[in-house]
A and B are shown apart, each in its own frame.
Chain A
């Protein structure tokens, strides 16, 4: 049982490039989330999903897109990367919205 896995662990992007952050969970959780965490700050919700085929915006969705074609996978797409998107990105999952969230190890993204 791997829990929540994320790839890549670290990436450097040039301004204007695009990339996809991968997230997979093997706990059969309904809910999946993408957060970003800037240095010394709390977690900010980017997008979340309540099940396959259903996604919704969080607090800071601009510049990002998501899809949820299966229960297990919830990729985050960055289009036209900007320096403001330099951050650590965490994927998380939970069985129900009010239950414990389990986090992946994070992806550190640097946009130059």
Chain B
């Protein structure tokens, strides 16, 4: 079967750095997305990786290792507004998006 694993919840301090991991086992791989979802709102796009390596976008970076079936989202200089759920999703061999359950990130002052 297809599986995506993320930690259920993480806590970090304002101004710090946090890394949210995602491991996947899917039938094929055609890219990996990270989305942010604030409570009561819709998911919004953060990043997309299809090749190995690090993609940096401001305070957010996303890393992919296809051989290890592993990705992480790195958030720097954390702000209170970063409190949200972070969803990892993989595009499988049928070009369908397989979603993880999400990681709830709690930022403390």
Question: Interface residues, chain A, CB within 8 Å of chain B?
Answer: 40-45, 90, 96-98, 100-106
CB distance from B26 to the nearest CB of A (A): 13
Q: How far is the CA of A105 from the CA of B48 in the complex (A)?
A: 22
CB distance from B40 to the nearest CB of A (A): 8
Cross-chain contact A98 with B87 (CB below 8 angstroms): no
Cross-chain contact B97 with A101 (CB below 8 angstroms): yes
Q: How far is the CA of A96 from the CA of B102 in the complex (A)?
A: 23
Cross-chain contact A43 with B42 (CB below 8 angstroms): no
Q: Does residue B27 face the partner (Cβ distance < 8 Å to A)? A: no
Cross-chain contact A97 with B95 (CB below 8 angstroms): yes
Contact residue among A42, A102, A106 (Cβ-Cβ distance under 8 Å from B102): A42
CB distance from B49 to the nearest CB of A (A): 12
Q: List 8 A-B contacts (CB under 8 A).
A: A40-B104, A41-B101, A42-B100, A45-B97, A90-B43, A101-B97, A105-B41, A105-B42
Cross-chain contact A98 with B42 (CB below 8 angstroms): no
Contact residue among B30, B41, B100, B101 (Cβ-Cβ distance under 8 Å from A98): B30
Contact residue among A40, A42, A45, A103 (Cβ-Cβ distance under 8 Å from B44): A103
Cross-chain contact B87 with A43 (CB below 8 angstroms): yes
CB distance from B91 to the nearest CB of A (A): 5
Q: How far is the CA of A42 from the CA of B86 in the complex (A)?
A: 10
Q: How far is the CA of A55 from the CA of B97 in the complex (A)?
A: 16
Contact residue among A43, A98, A104 (Cβ-Cβ distance under 8 Å from B99): A43
Report chain B residues within 8 Å CB of A100: 33, 45, 48
Which positions 82-109 of chain B face chain A at CB distance < 8 Å?
A: 87, 91, 95-97, 99-102, 104
Cross-chain contact B102 with A98 (CB below 8 angstroms): no
Contact residue among B42, B45, B95 (Cβ-Cβ distance under 8 Å from A90): B42
Which positions 38-80 of chain B face chain A at CB distance < 8 Å?
A: 41-45, 48
CB distance from A91 to the nearest CB of B (A): 9
Which positions 1-55 of chain B face chain A at CB distance < 8 Å?
A: 30-31, 33, 41-45, 48
